Amino acid sequence: MKRLSLPLCSPAKDAPLCPSSQPEMPGAVVFGVIDGTIERPHVTHLVQPLPATDEVLSLSGPVMPTEVFRIAAPCVGTGCKHFDGSNCRLVTRIVDQLPAVAEVLPPCTIRPSCRWWQQEGKAACMRCPQIVTHNYFPDAAVFGACDPNVYEASHSE
């Protein structure tokens, strides 16, 4: 399966946090650990975010940090394929296409500054625990909701 990845860009000053970021991005923090199974991953939130230092990221062992950790960094806006100029289409698609997996609002230390929360509110948070930035075996619904190539396809039709 093709790995989804986005180019690195510089965020705007005071940009909201993107909860599906890469560890190399400026200001990146680890806010959760992926638990569960390959078929049913689940994010367990940390009590406090940790800076995404080499030391912290090395705890992922032989796999990519984004397979083990959920990482947030300031949103890069139009530098991201998911951003349409005013909204994150990724979280819109997640809310529209994926079921809620949390029964109560998960504890989350980045919520006040999270773009997904600011844009979609509780609906985003109830789906967030199932998202893994680098998931090599996503089910069809997760892959469809998260694939940035759908935007290019919709422009060519």
pLDDT score of 140 more than 70? yes
52 near 30, Cβ under 8 Å?
yes
Q: CA-to-CA distance for 147 and 71, rounded, in angstroms? A: 18
Domain boundaries, the chain: 17-156
- Band the pLDDT of 132: cuts 50, 70, 90: confident
Q: What is the pLDDT of residues 78-119, one digit of tens each?
A: 999 999 999 999 999 999 999 999 999 999 999 999 999 999
Q: CA-to-CA distance for 82 and 129, rounded, in angstroms? A: 19
Q: What is the pLDDT of residues 16-67, one digit of tens each?
A: 999 999 999 999 999 999 998 878 889 999 999 999 999 999 999 999 999 8
Selected residue with higher pLDDT from 77 and 4: 77
CB atoms closer than 10 angstroms to residue 71: 27
Cα-flanking dihedrals φ and ψ of residue 40, to 5°?
Answer: -135, 70
